């Protein structure tokens, strides 16, 4: 599925840039894997509902 491929490509890039951006703050929020897992699941759900809506 293309959504999975897009996530595999975009997740490391997003982590790299977000990690660099968050290091500038004194009170830093650590990036955890669950942020990316939730984002992946939401993108799969949005794609599924979009395709389901077209075929319904």
Question: For residue range 1-56, what is the model confidence (pLDDT) as tens digits?
Answer: 789 999 999 999 999 999 999 999 988 888 899 999 999 999 999 999 998 887 77
Cβ neighbours of residue 11 under 8 Å, at least 6 residues apart? 36, 39, 40
Cβ neighbours of residue 18 under 8 Å, at least 6 residues apart? 31
**Tokens in use for 42?**
């939401």
**Tokens in use for 21?**
């951006």
Q: Where are the domains of the chain?
A: 2-55
């Amino acid at each position: 599925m293309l959504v999975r491929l897009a996530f595999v490509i975009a997740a490391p890039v997003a982590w790299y840039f977000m990690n660099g951006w968050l290091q500038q703050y004194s009170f830093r929020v650590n990036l955890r894997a669950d942020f990316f897992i939730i984002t992946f699941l939401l993108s799969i759900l949005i794609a599924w509902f979009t395709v389901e809506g077209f075929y319904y």
